Amino acid sequence: MTDWKAEVENIVCSGRIKVPYKWYVGEIGSRFLTRLRDAREIWGRQCPKCQRVYVPPVKNCGECFALTDQWIQVKDEGTVESFTVVRYTHEMHPVKAPFAYALIRLDGADGALLHLIGGIDPDRLKVGMRVKAVFAEQREGSILDIRHFEPM
């Protein structure tokens, strides 16, 4: 059998894609964002079979595919599991560089939430660091109603 990859030429097309659409997040996503906006609370959905709690909430469990059926409030505190530091500014970024994105396992959740880290020099971030959500004063019903997470 031949190695088909050796016979394929890689072609790269540089360009920019703008996506000027508004997306409907559905009933589950809407409730999640409404609770962020109105109550500064973070909620997930729990699987009735394997008991995993998903934040952000999902309709079906990613492990056993069961329909999630129970809302669970989780803490606004968690642990940094991984992170990356962004050192360039781009119009699509939510804040000016340098800044960091982190995967944060919230207390009470089984997965990690990707979000911004603030209140610290990005070069001082560490895996395992405890962080807490900082909510925006003016909330609009988006994930950025959590302005960022900062070290506790």
pLDDT digits 0-9 by tens, 12-34: 777 777 777 777 889 999 999 99
Give the tens place of pLDDT for each residue, 65-84.
999 999 999 999 999 999 99
What pTM was computed for the model?
0.83
Is the bond preceding 98 in cis, omega lying within 30 degrees of 0? yes
Is the pLDDT at 115 greater than 80, yes or no? Answer: yes
Q: Which residues contact 53 (CB under 8 A, 6 or more apart)?
A: 44, 45, 46, 47, 72, 74, 108, 109, 110, 111
pLDDT at 12: 77
Our CA dihedral for 97, 118, 112, 91, rounded to 10 degrees, sits at -30
